[in-house]
């Protein structure tokens, strides 16, 4: 059984997909972009964008009664490897209280939607 | 104790009959909708794998060209066939990754995508990559409940 999950604190999807889908004890979170509640790219640079993306992910986790500690796998897409050090630092700060850092992959891509510099998708384990 | 370890491994290897298939994780199963390759070589990957109540469908592209709409439709049809082959369905999809060779194809891909997964579509991630094998415009992979 699949259940769509959304959060009032995360912008509605720009395409035909669910913000997150729960199946059994797993939660699949769509790639989050650095968009505010109104769907606008947040001002600032790569650090602000990474924080917004992680904040969106956190809101979706909360909507499923989970939090950052429930993340098991994270894929980070960056539009250019030069952004990687800043993304990694912001990610580390955000997840500093997570005892078991999730497995992670980093993929440099040519372009992301809306010209975003970073997009993050994740899988979390939740209580059924 | 590298030596004794090697001995143990050698003993373990001897205990396996030569014709036995390599050990697979319990519950993992490969699915070849169109039959297993017949060239006598080990397959590179499985079109679909079921494990632990989930089905993982490999990244799928249309290798003989076409518009972004044609390629997206073909890919989704192929994914649907693979899901049905293992007793799953588009409605059971939980996660979808879309790789585009050009982010400007996001709109037409999206319109072709709409409605294909029912009223509760899967979570999705879309990125543009430097290139997709065989010059494809789009490649999609899916995870679903089996």
pLDDT tens for residues A75-120? 999 999 999 999 999 999 999 999 899 999 999 999 999 999 999 9
Helix axis angle, B68-85 relative to B106-113, nearest 10°?
A: 40
Facing residue for B123 by CB, picked from A1, A29, A119: A29
Superfamily of domain B25-145: RutC-like (3.30.1330.40)
Using a CB-CB cut-off of 8 Å, the residues of chain B touching A105 are none
In CATH, what number is assigned to the domain containing residue A57?
3.30.1330.40
pLDDT at A9 over 90: yes
Give the pLDDT mean for B32-54.
90
Contacts with B17 (C-beta within 8 Å, 6 or more apart), sequence order: none
Facing residue for B143 by CB, picked from A16, A28, A109: A28
Q: Cα distance from A74 to chain B (closest Cα, Å)?
A: 12
Q: Do B128 and A26 touch (CB under 8 A)?
A: no
The proportion of chain A whose per-residue pLDDT surpasses 90, expressed as a percent, equals: 90
Facing residue for B128 by CB, picked from A23, A112, A123: A112
Contacts with B139 (C-beta within 8 Å, 6 or more apart), sequence order: B59, B60, B61, B75, B98, B99, B132, B133
Q: pLDDT for A11-48, tens place per residue? A: 999 889 999 999 999 999 999 999 999 999 999 999 99
Q: Cα distance from A4 to chain B (closest Cα, Å)?
A: 6
CB A28 within 8 A of CB A20: yes
Contacts with A66 (C-beta within 8 Å, 6 or more apart), sequence order: A27, A124, A126, A127
CA distance B87 to A39: 37
In chain B, the residue whose alpha carbon lies closest to the alpha carbon of A29 is B123
Q: pLDDT for B5-16, tens place per residue? A: 444 444 444 455
- Which pairs with CB-CB distance under 8 Å and at least 24 residues apart come from B69-73? B69/B108, B69/B109, B69/B111, B69/B112, B71/B136, B71/B137, B71/B138, B72/B108, B72/B109, B72/B112, B72/B113, B72/B138, B72/B140, B73/B112
CA distance A33 to A19: 11
In chain B, the residue whose alpha carbon lies closest to the alpha carbon of A116 is B127
**What DSSP state is assigned to residue B8?**
H
pLDDT the model gives residue B12: 46
Pairing of strands B123-128, B93-100: parallel
Q: Where are the alpha helices (DSSP H) in A14-45?
A: none
Q: Domain of residue A28: give its range.
A: 2-125
Residue whose C-alpha is closest to residue B77's, from B108, B117, B128, B111: B117
pLDDT the model gives residue B19: 54
Residue with tokens 């169109």: B34
Using a CB-CB cut-off of 8 Å, the residues of chain B touching A123 are 95
Q: Say if B3 is an interface residue toward chain A (CB within 8 Å).
A: no
CB atoms within 10 A of CB A127: 8
CA distance B79 to B141: 8
**Token pair of A1, please?**
């059984």
Facing residue for A20 by CB, picked from B91, B110, B123: B123
What's the total number of domains in chain A?
1
pLDDT at B1 over 60: no
Q: Do B94 and A1 touch (CB under 8 A)?
A: no
Q: Say if B55 is an interface residue toward chain A (CB within 8 Å).
A: no
Identify the residue with better confidence: B88 or B21.
B88
**Token pair of B107, please?**
């709109």
């Amino acid at each position: 059984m699949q259940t769509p999950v959304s959060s009032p604190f995360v912008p509605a999807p720009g395409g035909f997909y669910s913000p997150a889908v729960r199946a059994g004890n797993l939660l699949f979170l769509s790639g989050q972009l650095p968009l505010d509640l109104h769907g606008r790219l947040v001002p600032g640079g790569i650090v602000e964008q990474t924080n917004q993306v992680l904040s969106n992910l956190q809101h979706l986790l909360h909507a499923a009664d989970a939090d950052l500690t429930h993340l098991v796998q994270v894929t980070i897409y960056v539009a250019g490897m030069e952004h990687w050090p800043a993304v990694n630092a912001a990610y580390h700060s955000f997840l500093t209280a997570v005892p078991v850092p999730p497995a992670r992959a980093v993929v440099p891509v040519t372009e992301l939607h809306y010209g975003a510099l970073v997009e993050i998708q994740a899988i979390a384990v939740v209580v059924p | 104790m590298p030596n004794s370890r090697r001995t143990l491994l050698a003993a373990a290897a001897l205990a396996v009959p030569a014709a036995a298939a390599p050990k697979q994780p319990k519950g993992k199963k490969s699915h070849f909708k169109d039959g297993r390759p017949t060239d006598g070589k080990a397959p590179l990957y499985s079109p679909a794998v079921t494990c632990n109540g989930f089905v993982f469908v490999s990244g799928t592209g249309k290798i003989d060209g076409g518009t972004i709409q044609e390629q997206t439709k073909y890919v989704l049809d192929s994914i649907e066939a693979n899901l049905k082959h293992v007793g799953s369905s588009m409605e059971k999809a939980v996660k979808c990754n879309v790789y585009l060779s050009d982010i400007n194809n996001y709109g037409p891909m999206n319109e072709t995508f709409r409605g294909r997964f029912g009223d509760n579509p899967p979570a999705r991630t879309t990125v543009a990559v430097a290139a997709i094998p065989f010059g494809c415009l789009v490649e999609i992979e899916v995870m679903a409940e089996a």
